[in-house]
Copies of this chain bind each other. A is one copy, B any other.
Amino acid sequence: MTSAPYKLYLPQEELPQAWYNLRADMPVKPAPLLNPQTKQPLSRDEMTPVFVEATVDQELDDNKAYFDIPGPVMDYYRTFRPSPLCRAYALEKELDTPAKIYYKFEGNNTSGSHKLNSAAAVAYYAKQQGLDGLATETGAGQWGTALSMASAFFGLDLRVFMVKLSAEQKPYRRAVMETYGATVTASPSITTEIGRSILAKDPDCKGSLGCAISEAIEYALTQNKTRYALGSMLNSVLLHQSVIGLESRQAMEMLGETPDIVIGCAGGGSNLGGLICAYMRDKLQGKPAPRFIAVEPENCPSLTRGRFAYDYGDTGHMTPLVKMYTLGGDFMPPSDHAGGLRYHGMSPIVSQLYYDGYLDEARAVAQSRVFEAACRFARVETILPAPESAHAICAAIDEAIRCRESGQSKTILFGLTGTGNYDLAAYSSYKAGTMIDNRPSDELIGQGLATLPSMD
């Protein structure tokens, strides 16, 4: 075995041509989405007024293992994929660890993240369906940027509701979306009924993903030939993100490597689900598999302190009921700088895998530790990571240090979902020593969980 290159790009002809649907191999399928009124599983006809049709079909299909990636989506993918599998030689040296550290880097595109993988699919299918436009929410701004890019490419209008905290922290995120032709509204806004009602209660509300989702759905439902698109959480989004894991595994195999540990950050779960899918398939099929670790922010700890229950996906109760780990749709996470992880719930697939013990571990980390890891990584590996991605870096560094202490040479693979080019206000705050860790009290968590809907 020759030593791994610093960056391995799969040859274009070896790119995955189909998305992998983890559910096909899960012994217990994720629970279905429910109509909140009837508490019955949502039908296709109930979903298509809100979501793009082809994605609804993907959402509802628990059995089909592979979905062909449409040609125009493959063509678009090829403008920014494959993403590199990187060997972190410099970080290994910095940590003086016997561990081998690999990361799959999804930030080499203008959206700066993996979100473009799903945005490309949704925008393509929307155009195919003859729609005029899409509406969506964005937290950190990466999903909104990705959908702006894909909407511009396929020729669709786009309205983005951006979590107000992020819109204030990242004015240039907003500008890049507008450059690609999107209309951006800070959420909560006076554009929607739900936004107005939230602002009536708390005029200074900085928003949350849950709240921005409500506004985007309301907006889509009130426009002509417009549908809502969600950038995480959904089964169909995890399906699109499977390219991360499929490519990762192919590249690792080219190097003759098998990871002992796979680490992903977890907000809504789209990156994590995508990253782990190819190795998780082994585990679901009873074969040897790596240890899977999900890393979430201490201030929004859905897996580690939430409850596995049916809940709304949003604050305004516009969404179906979703069986997932949740902190309650009304949970408003304390301020922090990982806007993309400020979500009260978790993908039903990831939730079910965690509940059933296939996802081995979830851990929550404080943001000052996350930024410490981010700066350490940036200095030696040259990439300035997104705060979201740095959650995975933090855990990878911890695991590598554990290897140094135990003398074990483990192979670690983590997902570097994106770049921090729009997160400089956060980095400045960390450098200036003004960053505060905000662990929610048990009381605050309890308040959120108390709002879970009754399932009687």
Contact = CB atoms under 8 A, between A and B. Distances in A.
Interface string A227-260: 0000000000000000000000000000000000
B175 A428 contact: yes
Contacts of A67: none
Q: How large is the interface on A (under 10, 10 to 19, 20 to 34, 35 or more residues)?
A: 35 or more
A1 to B, nearest CB: 15
A334 interface: no
Contact of A179 (B80, B171, B378): B378
Contacts of A66: none
B383 A110 contact: yes
A284 interface: no
A89 interface: yes
A130 interface: no
A32 B358 CA distance: 68
Interface in A173-228: 175-176, 178-181
Nearest to A374: B179
A421 interface: yes
Contacts of A383: 109-110
A313 to B, nearest CB: 29
Interface string A145-156: 000010011000
Contacts of A79: 6-7, 86, 90, 381-382
A124 to B, nearest CB: 14
Contacts of A116: 382
A375 interface: yes
A179 B384 CA distance: 9
B427 A110 contact: no
A110 B378 contact: yes
Interface in A371-429: 375, 378-384, 419, 421-422, 424-425, 427-428
Contacts of A375: 179
Nearest to A174: B424
A425 B383 CA distance: 23
Interface string A6-19: 11010111000000
A77 to B, nearest CB: 9
A425 B110 CA distance: 16
Of A116, A175, A380, A382, most buried by chain B (CB within 10 Å of CB) is A382
A114 B152 CA distance: 27
A380 B12 contact: no
Contacts of A427: 175-176, 179
Contacts of A178: 428, 431
A286 B257 CA distance: 49
A110 B7 CA distance: 15
A93 B178 CA distance: 24
A61 interface: no
Contacts of A76: 382
A151 to B, nearest CB: 10
A355 interface: no
Contact of A431 (B5, B12, B179, B379): B179
A220 B11 CA distance: 46
Contact of A5 (B78, B110, B180): B78
A438 interface: no
A370 to B, nearest CB: 14
Nearest to A371: B179
A152 B5 contact: no
Contact of A425 (B7, B175, B380): B175
Nearest to A107: B108
Interface of A: 5-7, 9, 11-13, 75-76, 78-80, 86, 89-90, 108-110, 112, 116, 149, 152-153, 171-172, 175-176, 178-181, 375, 378-384, 419, 421-422, 424-425, 427-428, 431
10 contacts: A5-B12, A7-B9, A7-B79, A79-B86, A153-B382, A172-B422, A176-B384, A176-B424, A180-B379, A181-B379
Given A179-B428, A421-B422, 17 more contacts: A6-B12, A6-B78, A6-B79, A76-B382, A109-B383, A110-B382, A110-B383, A110-B384, A112-B421, A152-B379, A172-B424, A172-B425, A175-B428, A176-B424, A179-B375, A179-B431, A180-B378
